[in-house]
Amino acid sequence: MNRTEYPRPQFVRKNWLNLNGTWQFEFDDQQQGVTEKYLDHDSNLAMEISVPFVYQSELSQINDRGIHEYVWYKKSFDLPKGVQKQTYLHFGAVDYYAKVFVNGQYVGEHEGGHTSFKFEITSYLNELEQVVSVYVYDPHTDETIPRGKQFWEQESRGIWYTNSTGIWQTVWIEQVNFAHLEQIKFTPNVDTGMIQIDTTFSQSVLTTEQNYFLDYRISYGNQLIANDKIKVMELCEKRSVDLIKNKIFRTNFHDHGWLWSPDSPNLFDVTFEVVDAQGKVMDEVTSYFGFRKIHTENGMVYLNNQPFYQKLVLDQGYWPEGLLTAPRVNDFEKDIRLAKEMGFNGCRKHQKVEDPLFLHLADTLGFVVWGECASAPAFTEKSVTRLVKEWFEIVARDYNHPSIITWVPLNESWGVPDIHHDHKQQQFSETLYHLLHTIDDSRLVISNDGWEATVTDICAIHNYGHGALAETEKYNHFKETLSTVDNLVQQAHHRWNVYAQGYHHQGAPILLTEFGGIGFQVGEENGWGYTSVNNEERYLEDYGRIMQAVFASKALWGYCYTQLTDVEQEINGILTYDRQPKCDLAKIKERNQAFQPEKLVVENRT
């Protein structure tokens, strides 16, 4: 199976070369890759692998669950002859550390298993066939690495899943003129009707004697909203465009007819052209943006200045055949459509930075996303450095996706195990909160999802204490803990308080961001859930009862149910691991829609 779709839907050029498919591959357990001449043009590696699937997955055609920390990849490819352009080699994601060679020459390296990177390889090309080699190091027991749910042992168990090593998103080649766009950022301001466009250009735009101009056109459907041509004077140019003045009728705009939301995922299309003084197009990029605002006020979350009750589902982003990599882009769409069919309006992507293609589909289908990183198990200077670096790359890559409304840098005190009383770990949590607002103030930030929060935009609480059907006393306690603000923020979950020592609730909206997890086995796989039922009727009854407790609360402003699908040994999904419904999804939707937030809005405002 080959993943052939364009991998960067927020920044599209027409011409590109997909390098997915069959690569040479070899385990290098003895670290002899360079000395064994793996980089020689004519040498071959021992196996073949299907990229972008990791060797641990079925779709890689290797399907080896053994621990191999050092691996090599190699692939030959052809480029157009005699084309005088800059050539970039792109990697969607490689877990964890990658060192890249082209035609036997070192071109660069990247650390971080979840974010995209590229290298300019123009000077490393030759007139013959090109060869790219990739050395990957994935240390399985290093506790300073942001690994998320990837287990450091060979067999999965508990909440931990199969490890992923190596290339797990698309590899591709892009050739561009020396004068070209490097980056685009869209920042909407719903209150003023303005969209700020930040563009970054290649160095050649200013270092040649030629003058260059940027043409851009903004359209909504078939309607041209704005267009302009500016002379490029700086490597970074900023423009603010008044969309209301430029043909959007004010009444329609403020009636939210043009805004992005799960119910109306309206998107504006944008085309950029870099042209020279003679009018020759040097670069063309198409993109899009959604016009939306997210903020908190009066203990509530607001989307586009309207109260927004979030009905989210926890999504781990694993597949039986591909692990972290979706077998097909349609699988992303299927997950979103099934979640919406069940009455959810978004998801929390859990311990994984998801493929941009998923985010693009969330943008176009109308599905809010909480973007979360993979956590490191330990708190050290190295783990802090690694996590901060990864967040800079996450925000840079995903800034333009309107579907992302919240960043989640920490989960359940993973990587900050002593945050309740440790001042350094508390400061790190605060640092992440302020850092993310510094580089992206268009979204909410949760300092520590689950418990032991510091400074946070949302008080995010995890509570699995609802019990099974027969455990009435446990369920009643669960319902009581959700009932009021005081009950929610003063409770402790086992040994964890809602706020870390020295911090307290200051009116932030409260959401129940993990709960449920009803275990229901429908196939041959054995596994576990936080509670357990043995038939569909009991499953729906337990789900409905849990949701009744949530909706009875006068303090909650949304929830995130655990979870969308089974994952390996976890059988607590609404869907099986291969995305088959365990029950009538219309009945799940009925229970999710048993409560409408209008009543809560009135209560909170009074």
249 domain residue, yes or no: yes
Residues with Cβ within 8 Å of residue 537, at least 6 apart in sequence: none
Domain housing 262: 181-289
pLDDT at 255 over 70: no
pLDDT on residue 606: 47
Question: Which of 258, 289, 320 is a domain's end point?
Answer: 289
Look at residue 540 and tell me whether its pLDDT is greater than 60: yes
- Residue 251 has a pLDDT of 47
Q: Report percent pLDDT > 70 for the chain.
A: 95
Decide if 294 is inside a domain: no
Size of the chain in residues: 606
Report if residue 4 sits inside a domain: no
Q: What is the pLDDT of residues 154-177, one digit of tens each?
A: 889 999 999 999 999 999 999 999
Lowest mean pLDDT among 1-15, 28-42, 550-564: 28-42
Segment among 244-253, 441-450, 489-498 with least mean pLDDT? 244-253
One domain, residues 332 and 436:
yes
Q: Classify residue 511: in a domain, yes or no.
A: yes
* 364 shares its domain with 506: yes
Same domain, 25 and 97: yes
User: 214 in a domain, yes or no?
Assistant: yes
pLDDT digits (tens, 9 = 90+) for 437-483: 999 999 999 999 999 999 999 999 999 988 777 688 889 999 999 99
> Does residue 282 share a domain with residue 315?
no
Give the span between the Cα atoms of 200 and 206, in whole angstroms: 12
Per-residue pLDDT at 332 exceeds 70: yes
Check whether 218 has a pLDDT greater than 50: yes
Considering only 130-139, 179-188, 303-312, 460-469, which range has the smallest mean pLDDT?
460-469
Q: Is the confidence at residue 208, as pLDDT, over 80?
A: no
CATH number at residue 241: 2.60.40.10
Residues 216 and 350 grouped into a single domain: no
pLDDT at residue 198, as a whole number:
98
pLDDT for position 394: 98
Among 406-420, 520-534, 576-590, name the one with the lowest average pLDDT: 520-534
Mean pLDDT of 13-39: 89
Looking at residue 444, what is its pLDDT? 98
The verdict on 160 and 144 lying in the same domain is yes
Which of 155-164, 318-327, 518-527 is predicted most confidently? Answer: 318-327
Q: Are residues 470 and 571 in the same domain?
A: yes
- pLDDT tens readout for residues 294-309: 999 999 999 999 999 9
Residue-wise pLDDT tens digits, 53-100: 999 999 999 999 999 999 999 999 999 876 778 999 999 999 999 999
Is 445:433 a contact under the CB 8 Å cutoff? yes
For the chain, the C-alpha Rg in angstroms (whole number) is 25
Residues 223 and 327 placed together within one structural domain of the fold? no
Please check the confidence at residue 407 and state whether its pLDDT lies above 60: yes
Residue 70 maps to which CATH number?
2.60.120.260
pLDDT value at 256 more than 60: no
- Same domain as 562, residue 519: yes
Residue 256 counted as domain residue: yes
44 and 186 in a common domain? no
Predicted confidence (pLDDT) at residue 516 exceeds the cutoff of 70: yes
Joined tokens for residue 292:
């939306």
| Mean pLDDT in residue range 556-569 | 97
Alpha carbons 293 and 345: distance in angstroms, whole number: 16
| pLDDT(257) > 80 | no
Sheet holding 21-27, edge to edge: 47-51, 21-27, 70-77, 130-137, 97-102, 105-111
Domain boundary among 122, 142, 176: 176
pLDDT at position 159, please? 92
Kindly list the distances between the CA atom of residue 220 and the CA atoms of 143, 243, 246, 345, in Å, as whole numbers in the listed order.
48, 10, 11, 24
At residue 563, the 3 state secondary structure works out as coil
In a domain, 3, yes or no: no
Q: What CATH number has the domain bearing residue 330?
A: 3.20.20.80
Q: How high is the pLDDT of residue 600?
A: 63
- Mean pLDDT (whole number) for 512-539: 90
pLDDT in tens, 347-399: 999 999 999 999 999 999 999 999 999 999 999 999 999 999 999 999 999 99
Same domain, 169 and 213: no
Residues 533 and 471: beta-carbon distance below 8 Å = no
Type of residue at 504? H
Asked which of 139, 154, 176 is the last residue of a domain, the reply is: 176
Give this prediction's pTM.
0.96
Q: Is the pLDDT of residue 601 over 70?
A: no
Number of domains in the chain: 3
CB atoms within 10 A of CB 29: 12
User: What would the two tokens of residue 298 be?
Assistant: 């009066």
Task: Give the burial string for 553-592 (b: 16+ CB within 10 Å, else e).
Answer: bebbbbbbbbbbbbbbbbbbbbbbbebebbbebeebeebb
Q: Are residues 339 and 316 in the same domain?
A: yes
Task: Answer yes or no: is 11 within a domain.
Answer: no
Closest CA relative to residue 493, chosen from 583, 566, 545, 420: 420
User: What's the average model confidence in pLDDT over 482-506?
Assistant: 90
What is the pLDDT at residue 414?
96
